[in-house]
């Protein structure tokens, strides 16, 4: 059960990182999703990840030859998994809670 809570905490952290990155790069303007205002950050991360990938706002890419560390550049998430790439955003000190989310009536603006 502790593993489940750790996953939720990791996804909540990833939500903060990915949403801050989207805000700072201007990609958030293309995000349209509706969630309950009471939704957890872990649920918001999964919905945000699905939204950006399924709508072509961002793409998941394999690491280029010779690269071993996940990273994000522009609209591309490079890593074995999307989560690996999003986790790499933690190294960007200005992303740590750099922007507050703008939620109105359960909609991300």
Average pLDDT per run of 10 along the chain, which is 109 residues long?
70 92 91 90 95 97 95 96 94 58 48
Q: What is the pLDDT of residue 8?
A: 83
What is the DSSP track for the chain? Answer: -HHHHHHHHHHHHHHHHHHHHHHHHTGGGG---B--TT--HHHHHHHHHHHHHHTTSSEEEPPPTT--S-EEETTEEESSSHHHHHHHGGG-GGGTT-S---EETTEE-
Q: What is the pLDDT of residue 99?
A: 45
Range(s) of the domain holding residue 89: 2-108
Q: What is the pLDDT of residue 96?
A: 55
pTM here?
0.80
Count: domains in the chain? 1
């Amino acid at each position: 059960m502790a593993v489940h809570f750790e996953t939720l905490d990791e996804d909540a952290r990833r939500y903060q990182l990915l949403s801050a990155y989207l805000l700072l790069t201007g990609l958030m303007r293309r995000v349209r999703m509706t969630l309950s205002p009471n939704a957890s950050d872990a649920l918001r991360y999964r919905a945000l990840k699905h939204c950006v990938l399924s709508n072509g706002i961002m793409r998941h890419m394999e690491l280029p030859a010779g690269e071993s560390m996940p990273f994000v550049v522009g609209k591309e998430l490079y890593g074995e998994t999307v989560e690996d790439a999003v986790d790499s955003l933690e190294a960007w000190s200005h992303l740590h809670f750099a922007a507050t989310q703008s939620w109105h009536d359960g909609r991300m603006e």
